[in-house]
């Protein structure tokens, strides 16, 4: 059964870099050529924001609103992928979820598709 689990520090200081890892079990990232893997966040009590995704080959897609601060990478040998968000502020405080994406052909090439399954999420607080 496919499962995703986020891990990383729950507290990050302003201006520093947030780093999270999503460990995937039940499927090998290196053979998952029909899916992307990515990150979505949810500030406390608020809605959902897509951050970005990665294909097993390393191809990435980022939300333009965060692109200058985001790096997503994959390590197929460890079967996990990671998120780095630099220069964080209090506005980056959120529950961060990793999720498998189901990309679909679209008018602009490939869309990110829907997200399923999701990890349980991890709360990251930005505070000094």
Partner 1 sequence: DIVMTQSPDSLAVSLGERATVNCKSSQSVLYSSSNKNYLAWYQQKPGQPPKLLIYWASTRESGVPDRFSGSGSGTDFTLTISNLQAEDVAVYYCQQYYSTPPTFGQGTKLDFK
Burial of 94 (0-12, 13-18, 19+ CB in 10 A): buried
Write out the residues near partner 1 by the rule CB under 8 A.
47-50, 61, 63-65, 97, 99, 102, 104-108, 111-121
**Smallest separation, CB 64 to partner 1 (Å):** 7
Output the smallest distance, CB 67 to partner 1, in A: 10
Which segments within the chain are labelled E, that is strand?
A: 3-7, 11-12, 18-25, 36-42, 49-54, 60-62, 70-75, 80-85, 94-106, 109-118, 122-126
CB of 98 to partner 1, least distance (A): 10
Q: Would you say 10 or 64 has its CB closer to partner 1?
A: 64
CA-CA distance, 118 to 101, in Å (whole number)?
A: 9
Nearer to partner 1, 15 or 104 (CB): 104
Q: Would you say 77 or 108 has its CB closer to partner 1?
A: 108
């Amino acid at each position: 059964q496919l499962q995703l689990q986020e891990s990383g520090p729950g507290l990050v200081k302003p201006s520093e870099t947030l780093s999270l890892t999503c460990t995937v079990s039940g499927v090998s990232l290196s053979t998952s050529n029909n899916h992307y893997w990515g990150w979505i966040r949810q500030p406390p009590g608020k809605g959902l924001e897509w951050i970005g995704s990665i294909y097993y080959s390393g191809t990435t897609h980022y939300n333009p609103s965060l692109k200058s601060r985001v790096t997503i990478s994959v390590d197929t040998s460890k079967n996990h992928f990671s998120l780095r968000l630099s220069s964080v502020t209090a506005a980056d405080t959120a529950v961060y979820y990793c999720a498998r994406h189901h990309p679909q052909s679209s008018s602009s090439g490939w869309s990110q598709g829907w997200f399923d399954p999701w990890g349980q999420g991890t709360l990251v607080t930005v505070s000094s």
